[in-house]
């Protein structure tokens, strides 16, 4: 039987596991602190645990830290992409993105993706397998460690008793003009990397519960965003469970034919079913949905496209995120011009009173942007 990856467990799961192993549940707090506040990478760093417990953990458990296979940095210094190796030989990509006032980790939920969006590099890979909750959490922790190391605290901080045996990262993060503390702490996690999160619902929600835990990374409801291509059963389940997170829906077209051309899974969950599920979600949770619209020149960036999405969303609590197409090897489309994006935004605002933003592009030169993640790039 393989060792138990402790990052698969919620705090309550961990407490119960310690009891099953014959240890006092009182050790839960200290062990959890070492995992999520100390960001421990090995049990050797937990010298303040009882020796018998530490010996047992070394024999029966593991801290599922993925190996960094490759690391690249964008030319502007605001983005880093990590190719992380998993225990079975597969790999996923994770991205660290800096913005003014916050740092975001873009994490993957699957190896590959079964949704097949035509402009998405991950979709062109095909689907291999789901990630476990621990493999999802480990990506966020990887980014958190990188931020701490960049701050100069090193891996021995916050309760760790042994110095790091690993060299510092060869790629330094460029400091922001503010040099503020927010740039050294993980503030947001977006499930927008490789894979469709709602296709891997159980593991993703377990990971979200761990990320939310107030005794750990303590990411609030507004600090975790899940992006779906439109998996209707998953949206309805989110509505029923009232999960504390932001929901983003990849729309990209306001007609059934338009969605089918860009998002093949629309044949399984047609646009009218998707919008009905979105209405149910907003009614049940009281939250707005972020609708993502990849702007492709000559495909979906005309004035009539803006009016079509305006009519589709005008009675919903919604915000539209406009994302100029990022280049991928398997798709020949071009990003919309700046004036087209501004016109689209102006129509949504002036004619439909719909808020919108044009997504700030990050990491395009290292294939770390939206739709660009794919093992091997």
CATH 3.20.20.70 in the chain is located at 67-366
pLDDT in tens, 59-105: 999 998 999 999 999 998 899 999 999 999 999 999 999 988 889 99
pLDDT in tens, 182-221: 567 899 999 999 999 999 999 999 999 999 999 999 999 9
Both tokens assigned to 223:
């600090």
Structural tokens at position 17? 């596991």
Instruction: List the catalytic residue out of 41, 45, 93, 196.
Output: 93
Positive or negative, the Cα torsion across 354, 357, 358, 364? negative
**pLDDT tens digits along 124-152:** 889 999 999 999 999 999 999 999 988 77
| Bridge partners, 103 (sequence order) | 98
| pTM summary value | 0.90
Q: How far is CA 16 from CA 21, 23, 26, 218, in A?
A: 9, 10, 11, 21
Phi/psi of residue 296, each to 5°? -120, 125
Give the whole-angstrom CA distance, residue 367 versus residue 143.
18
Query: In the prediction, which pLDDT does 233 show?
Result: 98
Residue 165: predicted pLDDT: 30
- What φ, ψ does residue 79 adopt, rounded to 5°? -135, 140
In the chain, list all ranges with CATH 1.10.150.530: 4-62
Could you give the CA distance from residue 67 to residue 87 in angstroms, rounded to a whole number? 9
Class in CATH terms, 67-366: alpha beta
139/315 Cα distance (integer angstroms): 37
Distances in Å between the alpha carbon of 346 and those of 164, 183, 318, 339, 353? 52, 32, 16, 10, 10
Between CA 374 and CA 120 the distance in angstroms is 9
Take residue 33 and report the two structure tokens written for it.
């602190």
Express each pLDDT in 260-274 by its tens digit: 999 999 999 999 999
Catalytic-residue membership of 370: yes
Does pLDDT of 179 surpass 50? Answer: no
> What's the CATH number of domain 4-62, 1.10.730.10, 1.10.150.530, 3.40.1190.20, 1.10.3720.10?
1.10.150.530
Q: What pLDDT band is residue 176 in, cutting at 50, 70 and 90?
A: very low
Q: How many helices (H) and strands (E) does the chain have?
A: 11, 14
Q: Which of 318, 240, 320 is nearest to 280 (CA)?
A: 240
Indicate which residue of 106, 117, 120, 370 is catalytic.
Answer: 370
Helices (H), the chain: 11-20, 28-36, 51-60, 121-125, 133-151, 201-212, 232-241, 256-262, 271-285, 303-313, 338-352
Q: pLDDT band for 178, please (50, 70, 90 cuts).
A: very low
């Amino acid at each position: 039987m393989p060792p138990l990856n402790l990052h698969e467990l919620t705090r309550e799961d961990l407490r119960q596991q310690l009891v099953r192993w014959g240890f006092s549940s009182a050790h839960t707090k200290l062990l959890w602190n070492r995992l999520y506040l100390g960001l421990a990478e090995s049990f050797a760093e937990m010298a303040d645990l009882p020796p018998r417990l530490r010996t047992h953990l070394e024999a029966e458990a593991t801290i599922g830290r993925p190996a960094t296979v490759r690391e690249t940095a964008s030319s502007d210094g605001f983005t880093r992409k990590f190719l992380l190796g998993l225990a079975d030989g597969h790999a996923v990509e994770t991205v660290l993105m800096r913005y003014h006032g916050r740092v975001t980790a873009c994490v993957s939920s699957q190896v590959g993706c079964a949704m097949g969006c035509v402009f998405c590099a991950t979709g062109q890979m095909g689907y291999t397998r789901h990630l476990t909750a621990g493999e999802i959490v480990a990506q966020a922790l990887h980014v958190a460690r990188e931020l701490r190391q960049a701050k100069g605290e090193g891996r021995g901080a916050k309760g760790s008793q042994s110095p790091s045996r690993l060299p510092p990262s060869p790629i330094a993060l460029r400091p922001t003009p503010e040099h503020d503390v927010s740039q050294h702490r993980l503030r947001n996690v977006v499930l927008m990397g490789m894979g469709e999160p709602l296709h891997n619902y159980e593991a993703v929600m377990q990971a979200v519960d761990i990320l939310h835990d107030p005794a750990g990374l303590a990411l609030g409801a507004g600090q975790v965003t899940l992006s779906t291509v439109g998996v209707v059963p998953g949206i309805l389940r989110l509505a029923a469970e009232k999960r504390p997170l932001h929901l983003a829906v990849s729309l990209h077209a306001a007609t059934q034919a338009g969605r089918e051309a860009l998002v093949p899974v629309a044949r399984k969950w047609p646009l009218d079913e998707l919008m009905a599920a979105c209405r149910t979600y907003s009614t049940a949770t009281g939250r707005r949905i972020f609708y993502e619209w990849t702007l492709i020149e000559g495909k979906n960036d005309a004035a009539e496209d803006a009016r079509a999405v305006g009519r589709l969303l005008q009675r919903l609590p919604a915000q539209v995120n406009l994302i100029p197409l990022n280049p991928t090897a398997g798709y020949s489309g071009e990003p919309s011009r700046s004036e087209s994006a501004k016109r689209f935004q102006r129509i949504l605002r002036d004619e439909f009173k719909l808020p919108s933003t044009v997504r700030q592009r990050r990491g395009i030169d290292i294939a770390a942007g939206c739709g660009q993640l794919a093992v091997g790039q």
